Amino acid sequence: MRSCRARAFLALATVALAVSGCSANLDGTGTSNIPGPDPQRDIPANALAPMGPVAEAQDDLWNLAYPISIAVFVLVFAGLAFIVVRFRDKGQEQLPKQVHGNTKLEIAWTLVPALILVAIAVPTVQTIFELADEPAEDAVHVTVVAKQYWWQFEYTDDDTGFYTANELHIPAGREVYLTLDGSEPAGPQYGTPPVMHSFWVASLAGKRDWVPGAIREMRIEAYEPGIYPGNCAEFCGLSHANMRFTVIAHEEAEYEEWVANQREPAAEPTDELAVQGQELFVSQTCVACHNITGHPENGESRVGPDLTHFASREAFAGYIFDSPFGESAEDPEASRELLRPWIRHSADLKPGSQMPQFPNISDEDVDALIAYLGTLE
């Protein structure tokens, strides 16, 4: 019986090991040959390799608590092993000597854990207060709204704010103060059903939940320019795993240049096919959900991602597929081919996507829409 149980346990442990070694297929389609940003292509999402002051302050707490935990673990289990061996039943007939109460020991095992807790609590509380401080003078302010299943970033520092989706550009070496804004009315018609999400850029800061009805703040900062992968860290529905985003930290001048471009209204298309696409954008009701600033019939709706500068982004669909217009696209043709089914049945590529389906839209019209999207730089 015992060997049977042991074997069952071994088998389970082996399966668990094998499963944990599986590489996740994050594109959500069940196929792996679709081009999408490789999560490990850039800086790995590693909370133990902090790339900014916030992550580093949090990592310092881990560096303090972890060795203490290991020491406690080793001492407790060494003591346990010693007692189990030393006082094991050696077959004596009589009960061993019974001991009750030992004042010195009791004081020791009350005091020592209390001191350990104080040693961990003091720097922890200190760090919590530091991280909850007022934003720095020169901080960049961004309001974050979690939608189903993508992230909206609104830059609020200037009179003319602008929006991006799934791509958070920041200046390296400057604090970015994020407002996780759950105060919007919730409901599919607003693109924000009342579920929780969690904003997590592992190498820049710990997680913070985005909570419907609540407004929460957090700060991030990157020491160096780079591309830092982020993802939703709270199960929120079918495409939770497809709710990725990226923080792109630039040198200051490059960042300002990016901001200046984002604040511009969308370029007017000149190409015939793109002009046709612009017209379709209204007649196929895209404009009812997607804002394009500068579009002649701009509806200012942000149920879906703001597309004003769609072609300047490196990925689409919750950041799971390379954009054919991005600079880092590995296979722009394949990515372009992916935009077609995306426009027709987005939920096939990203389960639970709330974009309406347009199954009957002709190939020619899809081409025109893609041509128009390509002009939105």
Question: Which residue ranges make up the site for ligand CUA (CB under 6 A)?
Answer: 146, 149, 197, 232, 234-236, 240, 243
Distance in Å from the first CA to the final CA of the chain: 68
> For residues 146 and 311, which CB has a smaller minimum distance to ligand CUA in the complex?
146
Distance, in Å, from the CA atom of 36 to the CA atom of 326, rounded to the nearest integer, reads: 11
> For residues 45 and 65, which CB has a smaller minimum distance to ligand CUA in the complex?
45
Closest separation between CB of residue 151 and ligand CUA, Å? Answer: 8
CB 376 within 8 A of CB 306: no
CB 190 within 8 A of CB 303: yes
Closest separation between CB of residue 228 and ligand CUA, Å? Answer: 18
Closest separation between CB of residue 180 and ligand CUA, Å? Answer: 12
> For residues 218 and 232, which CB has a smaller minimum distance to ligand CUA in the complex?
232
CB 140 within 8 A of CB 174: yes
Closest separation between CB of residue 191 and ligand CUA, Å? Answer: 12
How far lies 161's CA from each of 115, 127, 199, 241, in Å?
50, 32, 21, 29
Exposure pattern of 189-202 as b/e (b: 16+ CB <10 Å)?
eebbbebebbbbbb
Closest separation between CB of residue 330 and ligand CUA, Å? Answer: 26
Nearest to 156 by CA among 183, 177, 185: 177
Closest separation between CB of residue 131 and ligand CUA, Å? Answer: 23
| 13 CB-contact burial (10 Å; exposed 0-12 / middle 13-18 / buried 19+) | exposed
How many CB atoms are closer than 10 A to CB 67?
A: 10
Distance, in Å, from the CA atom of 356 to the CA atom of 352, rounded to the nearest integer, reads: 11
> For residues 243 and 376, which CB has a smaller minimum distance to ligand CUA in the complex?
243
> For residues 230 and 277, which CB has a smaller minimum distance to ligand CUA in the complex?
230
Closest separation between CB of residue 95 and ligand CUA, Å? Answer: 58
Give the dihedral of Cα atoms 164, 170, 174, 179; nearest 10 deg.
30
- Supply 164's token pair: 């991006």
> For residues 197 and 302, which CB has a smaller minimum distance to ligand CUA in the complex?
197
- Strands 244-250 and 167-171, bridge-based pairing: parallel
Distance, in Å, from the CA atom of 169 to the CA atom of 184, rounded to the nearest integer, reads: 23
> For residues 231 and 308, which CB has a smaller minimum distance to ligand CUA in the complex?
231
> For residues 162 and 199, which CB has a smaller minimum distance to ligand CUA in the complex?
199
> For residues 236 and 369, which CB has a smaller minimum distance to ligand CUA in the complex?
236
How many CB atoms are closer than 10 A to CB 275?
A: 16
Closest separation between CB of residue 234 and ligand CUA, Å? Answer: 5
Closest separation between CB of residue 352 and ligand CUA, Å? Answer: 10
Q: Which amino acid is at 207?
A: K
Nearest to 143 by CA among 216, 206, 227: 216
